[in-house]
Structure 1
Amino acid sequence: MLTRNVSLIEGLLNDEKKLLQFLDGKYRQYKDYNDCKLDVRYVGNKPYYSFHRAAETPLYLGSADNVFVQNIQNCRTYRELSAICRDNVQAIEQFLSQYTPISPNNLGELLPKHYLPPQFSLSPLPASFNQKWYDEMLKIKNLIPPTYPEALKIPTNDGIMVRSRVEAIIYNYFLSLGMTPLYEFPLSYEGKLLRPDFTLLHPLRPFIYIWEHFGRMFHPTDGLQYQQSALYKLNIYKEMGFYPGCNLFFSFENPDGSIDTEHLIKEISQIFGNPPTAQARRLGIDATDFLEMQKNILQSQNVI
């Protein structure tokens, strides 16, 4: 069982409220057209419009370029979207009002004390193993300064600073699954140093996963150089035993910087909310072995 928090839902509620405020403001700009109804007929594939109010004769307006047509369309669009968004806000608020989080911190409030097993843990892996592994990895990370620290400007829910808004979304969702991602852990291999966006311990089995967010892969100007750099990293990951779709996963942004958050969340939930696949178990890298390998490499380099 994975512990979850509601930070992602609370963030969604905040976003919906901001969107509702925007949509209501736009609707108010066009509310004078609220009682106008558009009629359309097509000549070939081109639409031509007229409009009418209740009990009035239709008035011809012309093509879609007509400002009156556009104002009526805007009025209807913002009115309908405002109604949908308002329903979304109410639904999320109702969910949050009825939701009871389950975490190690509130078990005493949910169950009588004498029913709690003394070594009870919500994590399939022993909590001590998770924490010890993370603490040891964090010690290694703190020995090697980050590159371009001035670009670490976006805070996550646990205070870690990342480089982009989308990286913060991904990081926070890992947190909501009860995971503790290591951001830009300095990964050493045969004299090379990589900094994967997220190094992760699978919550159900002691295997290491890497998640790379290639945010600029399809950037209109930086894309080609970025793709070459990404391919270089993928080849090193392969040498280390990280294989796409097995223990190495990716996310991408569209050229305009947007991302399908709904799909991203579903993918992360599918991968880390279920036991590793048979292939991931066969090829996977054990967390303890991984930690020792990194320690040995840094000791050979006199870093630790």
Structure 2
Amino acid sequence: MSEVDINKEFSKREAELNKVMKVCESKLKKAPSGRLKVRNYKGKSYYYVSGGGADSRLKYLRNSEYDKAKQLAQRDYDARTLDAVNRELSAIHSYQKKMPAKTYEQTYDALNPGRKVLITPHFLPDSEFVKGWLEEPYEPYEIEPGVAKHYTDLGEEVRSKSEVMIANALMKAGIPYKYECPLFLGDVKVHPDFTILKMPSRKVVYWEHLGRLDDPGYVERNLLKKIDEYEESGIFLGDGLIITRETAATPLNIKKVMRIIDHYLM
């Protein structure tokens, strides 16, 4: 886990809980009175209702009165949900009051630089983790002579204009990446177009761009076979693997690239 902003996580949870609370409160205001009793016999459920209070007599609900049972069951469920929401909100508020100003993850970041070099931290700040990840040496896949040269804004040579687009979009979004960093899928060595470090989760995600889907041989080699190899190694499309594609008639565009970045990487 990366440097944790606990207050931010709590705020997200509070917003979700408050939304559920409003829905439950609104539904409970319109809910009918009475007490629902459910009896199970030989795998079938039978529903009874009483007036509540002094009137404890049970009335059997026929099939034509099924909606009454649904309304009472929903009311009871909403009431229990509301109680659970309030208990969780109370616990969050109590925890926030007792939460120290700094978490253990932030202890290292607050140290004097001269002290930092003397210790091995239990948790690296995001900035240092990203720096270390980017500085890990690797040999990218060699670009063959005679291939048209394309360069990103960082001066990296890539294989296509579409890869320039993806690399520049990642860079502008502040997302760390490596171009064609080798990866072993079982015994097979591959070079994903982009190896991405998703922050703050520190999850590694691979982005493959398939640029010649007009070519059946390319599709067989780079789409069908490659996805199978990723999945056999536990890397699944839409989770640890992103794939973009294009043909001569439908080239990749920056709007699509940004939608993918916003959805999967932000």
TM-score norm. by structure 1 comes to 0.45
3-state SS, counterpart of residue 49 of structure 1: strand
Report what 1:166 is aligned to.
none
The residue number in structure 1 matching 2:142 is none
Q: 1:74 to 1:105 in 2, by over 3 A?
A: same
| Residue type at the aligned position of 1:28 | K
Gaps of 5+ in 2: 137-152, 159-163, 183-188, 208-218, 240-266
Choose which of 183, 187, 191 in structure 1 pairs with 2:180. Answer: 187
| Residue 46 of structure 2 corresponds to residue 45 of structure 1 | no
Any idea what SS the aligned residue of 2:47 has?
strand
Which runs of structure 2 are paired with 1:1-304 in the superposition (5 Å)?
3-6=3-6, 7-30=8-31, 32-33=32-33, 36-52=34-50, 53-56=52-55, 57-63=57-63, 66-100=66-100, 101-102=102-103, 103=106, 107=110, 118-120=114-116, 123=121, 130=129, 132-133=131-132, 139=154, 144-146=164-166, 160=173, 182=176, 186-187=179-180, 193-196=192-195, 198=197, 210-211=204-205, 229=223, 232-233=226-227, 235=229, 244=234
Q: Work out the CA distance in 2 between the residues paired with 1:200 and 1:140.
A: 24
Q: Which structure's residues are more often helix, by fraction?
A: 1
Shift in Å, 1:129: 5.8
> 2:54 corresponds to which letter in structure 1?
A
CA 1:64–1:146 in structure 2 vs 1: closer, same or farther (change >3 Å)?
A: farther
Structure 2-normalised TM-score?
0.50
CA displacement at 1:42 relative to structure 2: 3.9
Distance in 1 between residues matched to 2:224 and 2:107, nearest whole Å? 39
Contact 2:2 2:199 in 1 (8 A): no
Which structure has more RCO (C-alpha within 8 Å, separation ≥ 6)? Answer: 1
* SS of residue matched to 1:54: coil
Q: Tell me, what secondary structure is at the counterpart of 2:93?
A: helix
Q: Which amino acid aligns with 2:78?
A: Y
**1:194 Cα shift?**
2.9
Please give the secondary structure, in 2, of the residue aligned with 1:16. helix
Structure 1, residues 76-121: CA drift from partner, whole Å, max 9, x if none? Answer: 010110110111111112212211223269848xxxxxxx673337
Percent identical: 11
Structure 1: gaps of 5 or more residues: 109-115, 153-158, 162-180, 204-208, 214-224, 254-304
- The residue matched to 1:4 in structure 2 has which SS? coil
Structure 1 residue 8, shift from structure 2 partner:
2.4
Note if contact 1:2-1:123 (Cα within 8 Å) is conserved in structure 2: no
| Structure whose CA Rg is larger | 2
CA distance in 2, matches of 1:201, 1:75: 40
Task: Specify the code of the residue in structure 2 equivalent to 1:187.
Answer: E
Contact 1:49 1:69 in 2 (8 A): yes
Q: State how many pairs are aligned.
A: 188
